[in-house]
Structure 1
Amino acid sequence: MAGQPVNYSGQGFSLRGDKGRFVLPPAFRKAVAESSDDRILCLAKHDRWNCLTAFGLSRRDELANQIDREEERAIRLGQDFDRDLRAMQLYGFSELPFDASGRFVMPDHLAELGCMDQGVYFQGAGSFFTLWNPAELYRMGTGWEGAQAACRKLEAEAAAKGKKA
């Protein structure tokens, strides 16, 4: 399946667990594994939002075309476009292994860039998905109400489950 387009949808939540690991939700875990022919999560800072962006290895094949489209659009609109900077942003992702249960260790530099601490909210976004510190997501304005509501619900469920353990 690697090399074929993958669409990520849905939501999930993970508290930081033992050994500082987070757990990739099952729906995302399956899609990433299938798109990578392995269990490799690609993770980078989102270029506009205060969160991280994630995808499977198959998306690498789409990045050059994405840069071409963005450059053509900028030219059409008479805007500046720094192709080298955009390439660094898109190709600067880290490849993180995750186990069969979806557990992965987030590197410190990415945790810092994404303001990640104790909990991560996952939000599907088509060809990628985002990872949010709930506090950062709650600061987003109009248009984010659905994701914010889902995050609140999943965060409360995870906290209640954590107290029972």
Structure 2
Amino acid sequence: MSEAFEGYSGQAFSLRSEKGRFTLPPAFRNAVKASSEGKTLCLTTHDKWDCLVGFGLSRKAEVEALLDREEEAAYKFGREFDRDIRSIQLTNFETMPFDDSGRFIMPEFLRGLGGIEDSVFFLSAGRVFTLWNPAKLYEMGHEFAMPKAACRALEEEARAKGKKK
């Protein structure tokens, strides 16, 4: 029996392998497994940032409640809310399997949408996590100072290990 899904925490870095695979880091891999009751990774675009969003299949069950909360908040603050558009944003995602080591192939069109090239930085965001092209992350403002510093350190480490092989 898998452990209960408690969200995502931390950050990690992965270089794209010669076979075109990225590696979902262990902490994220275990949380996706708990959320999906298996090895199914879901990816989509972020609605505000130039990155991708990752999660497990249990997110599907949360969509209607999330839509209700967002619609109520929009009404309360006098903002427009298009439930159909937001539903499209939340329910259109790609699923892909990953192996026991966390290796997965990211579809080319998703890599293009997220600007993902030869590497990806994983950043937790509670119920989901984000996947960044490091160059795109480095363009973000001061509120991303900690993730940018972590990404730089992890990227240097990964590239140094890659040169040793």
Aligned counterpart, 1:143: 143
Structure 1 spans left out of the alignment, 5+ residues: none
Aligned counterpart, 1:23: 23
Instruction: Find the aligned partners of 1:60 and 1:164 in 2 and give their Cα distance.
Output: 42
Aligned counterpart, 2:154: 154
- Contact 2:5–2:34 (8 Å) recurs in 1: no
Instruction: Find the aligned partners of 1:45 and 1:146 in 2 and give their Cα distance.
Output: 22
Shift of 1:47: 0.4
2:33 corresponds to 1:33: yes
Instruction: Find the aligned partners of 2:5 and 2:63 in 1 and give their Cα distance.
Output: 12
- Contact 1:5–1:59 (8 Å) recurs in 2: no
Shift of 1:18: 2.1
Aligned counterpart, 1:83: 83
- Contact 2:5–2:31 (8 Å) recurs in 1: no
2:12 corresponds to 1:12: yes
Instruction: Find the aligned partners of 2:74 and 2:160 in 1 and give their Cα distance.
Output: 47
Cα offsets for 1:36-71 (capped at 9, x unmatched):
111000100000000000011111111111111011
- 2:142 alignment partner, SS class: coil
Cα offsets for 1:112-164 (capped at 9, x unmatched):
00000011000011000000000000000021000000000000000000001
Aligned counterpart, 2:42: 42
- Contact 1:5–1:127 (8 Å) recurs in 2: no
Provide the alpha-carbon RMSD of the alignment. Answer: 1.2
Shift of 1:109: 1.0
- 1:18 alignment partner, SS class: coil
Shift of 1:6: 3.0
Percent identical among aligned pairs is 56
Give the structure-2-normalised TM-score. 0.96
Give the partner amino acid of 1:112. G
- 2:70 alignment partner, SS class: helix
Shift of 1:5: 4.7
Give the partner amino acid of 1:73. A
- Contact 2:13–2:122 (8 Å) recurs in 1: yes
- Contact 2:41–2:56 (8 Å) recurs in 1: yes
Give the partner amino acid of 1:163. K
Aligned pair count? Answer: 164
Instruction: Find the aligned partners of 2:27 and 2:142 in 1 and give their Cα distance.
Output: 27
Instruction: Find the aligned partners of 1:34 and 1:78 in 2 and give their Cα distance.
Output: 38
